[in-house]
A and B are shown apart, each in its own frame.
Chain A
Amino acid sequence: MNLHAVRAIYGFEMARTGRTLMQSVISPVISTSLYFVVFGAAIGSRIPQVGGISYGAFIVPGLIMLSLLTQSISNASFAVFFPKFTGTIYELLSAPISYSEIVFSYVGAAATKSIVLGLIILATAGLFVPLHIEHPFWMMLFLVLTSVTFSLVGFIIGIWADGFERLQVVPLLIITPLTFLGGSFYSIDMLPLFWQTVALFNPVVYLVSGFRWSFYGLADVGVGVSLAMTVAFLAISLAIVAWIFRTGYRLKV
């Protein structure tokens, strides 16, 4: 294994976060705080408890998941797309580094940033609502698995994108709507029966449900199903990345 290369890419990506602190960390924290002010304090005060939990506390896992998903995709997709855009990808392709090492480095860095961000948002949430984490191990497991999976999705988008517009299309038009409709701000049993069934086709439901269960022991679907779905998304993403490197799709001619 080319550990020096892995360290170089990982370090390079983490250093980029330092330079883009406003965009990478501060902006999501401010957005999340605004969600708490609007949904937690202003609107939430008029909503009764959900499953015995105050509405403000109920939305914490969903809010973290919202940031985790969008930031994982954004971090990884930009990290891969930018060298393609500037042309510096030549150096990566000509280096003595395997495809799995490339993925490990970029996805590892993107996932690290997302996990740190998730923990920062969790700490921020603690300023607004009393927090209780019933299953801390599972909370961290879901946090890590989700960050890695969606960083892989971001990696795929970064390779697929041939312009900045495409880079934004999937996060804005697919991920964000799915997250909002995935039970981030409500329990799906609050929906009419038909829409409850429809919601089960939304993969984000399983991520939010499992994550929320780790906080409050409260879930829309069984935690085993959530975990299995998360692992399935991870496996699908890995398979797509493996295909990209096997074929050289959008990387090599």
Chain B
Amino acid sequence: MQDILSVSNLSKTYASGFSALKNINLAIRQGEIFALLGPNGAGKTTLISIICGIVNPSSGTVLVDGHDIIRDYRAARSLIGLVPQELTTDAFETVWSTVSFSRGLFGKPANPAHIEKVLKALSLWDKKDNKIMTLSGGMKRRVMIAKALSHEPQILFLDEPTAGVDVTLRRDMWELVRGLRSTGVTIILTTHYIDEAEEMADRIGVIIKGEIILVEGKTELMHKLGKKQLVLQLPHALTLVPAALSAHDLQLSKDGCELTYTYDAQGERIGIAALLKDLGDAGIQFKDLHTTQSSLEDIFVNLVEGKP
């Protein structure tokens, strides 16, 4: 897949001396959903703000579909739609006028049919003549998405798109994002909700203290860094893991009723068959067993905390 966004050696140091981004290199593929994860203050919003032209970079280059964001800013910016984190709207404007304004601002001629389509897709059509100040927080969030989509962007940045919205709206937005991707729009989202990235993203980038520490396909990431565990429930409590099973790196629960075996699901030998055989040989029976797999959230937390 062709790269639609290319970030090279991008750094940002604010006047205060705070280094928000350190030599970022990142390529986003056309048509993908890319989730940028990171704790608060990691540099996610700064990175997006530089790409969109809101913050000046200290060094480095950003190309949007081959257009430099500084030298060829018109072409670069016209391809981008941005939904910022904060709910910033023109409170006294109507939904229709503010979305139409955004389309004009991004250099597109008036197209009431397109605005109507966007508003209907976001369930805002019946609110089109309402002033924004009369809308709920969730509706205002939709208005901001409608503004970002008004000029038919090729790349959509969603900075914490579902922060503070209810579950139904989150699900609606996920559907909307998937629908946009199906039309070829590239979506880059930052989120605190790891399940959101797990649910939607094709690839995941993790940024910590201004540095991208990892970019992986979601599936590969979960295979590579995810752990799988086999939990055996015992009919009779053990006080110690028998010596005959010491080769299997088992953990015994506090009450002695569960044995947990952690293994690499992608490994050539996962060792379950040998474990079960050794259990039988040691005369240890089990009444039930189940497996668990680490979530993206577990992986993310481990990465942030620097755990292996």
Partners in one complex: yes
Q: A residues near B, CB below 8 A?
A: 2, 4-5, 7-9, 11-12, 15, 19, 86-88, 90-98, 248, 252-253
Q: Say if the beta carbon of B14 comes within 8 Å of chain A.
A: yes
Q: A4-B107, A8-B103, A90-B82 are in contact. List 7 more A-B contacts (CB 8 A).
A: A19-B92, A87-B86, A90-B54, A93-B54, A94-B53, A94-B77, A97-B107
In the complex, are the beta carbons of B102 and A96 less than 8 A apart? no
CB contacts under 8 Å to A, within B16-39, are none
Q: A5-B107, A94-B53, A253-B14 are in contact. Are A88 and B74 (CB under 8 A)?
A: no
B56 touching A253, Cβ below 8 Å:
yes
- 9 residue pairs of the A-B complex, CB under 8 angstroms, read A4-B108, A4-B109, A5-B104, A15-B97, A88-B90, A90-B54, A94-B82, A95-B105, A97-B107
The residues of A that contact B97 with a CB separation of less than 8 Å are: 12, 15
* A11, A93, A253 pick with most chain B CB within 10 angstroms: A253
Contact of A93 with B107 in the complex, beta carbons under 8 Å: no
Of the residues B88, B91, B92, B105, contact of A5 by C-beta under 8 Å: B105
Chain A residue at minimum C-beta to C-beta distance from B20:
A253
- Which A residue sits closest to B84, measured CB to CB? A90
Residues of B within 8 A of A8 (CB): 100-101, 103-105
**Residue of A whose beta carbon sits closest to that of B93:** A12
SS class of chain A's interface: helix, strand, loop or mixed?
A: helix
Chain B residues near A87: list those with CB within 8 A.
84, 86, 88
A186–B91 CA distance with the chains assembled, in angstroms: 44
Q: Is B244 an interface residue (CB 8 A)?
A: no
B91: contacting residue among A2, A7, A86, CB under 8 A = A86
Nearest-neighbor residue (CB-CB) of A94 within chain B: B52
Task: Find chain A residues with CB under 8 A from B77 CB.
Answer: 94-96
Q: Are B56 and A248 in contact (CB under 8 A)?
A: yes
Q: Is B6 an interface residue (CB 8 A)?
A: no
Asked if B88 and A252 make an inter-chain contact with CB atoms under 8 angstroms apart, the answer reads no
Residues of A contacting B109 in the complex (Cβ-Cβ under 8 angstroms): 4
CA of A9 to CA of B103, assembled, Å: 11
Residues of chain B in range 40-87 having any CB-CB distance to chain A below 8 Å: 52-56, 73-78, 80, 82, 84, 86
CA distance A8 to B102 in the complex (A): 8
- Distance (whole angstroms) from the CB of A78 to the closest CB of chain B: 13
Contact B89 A88 (CB under 8 A): yes
A94 to chain B: closest CB distance in Å?
4
Q: In whole angstroms, how far apart are the Cα atoms of A98 and B71 in the complex?
A: 12
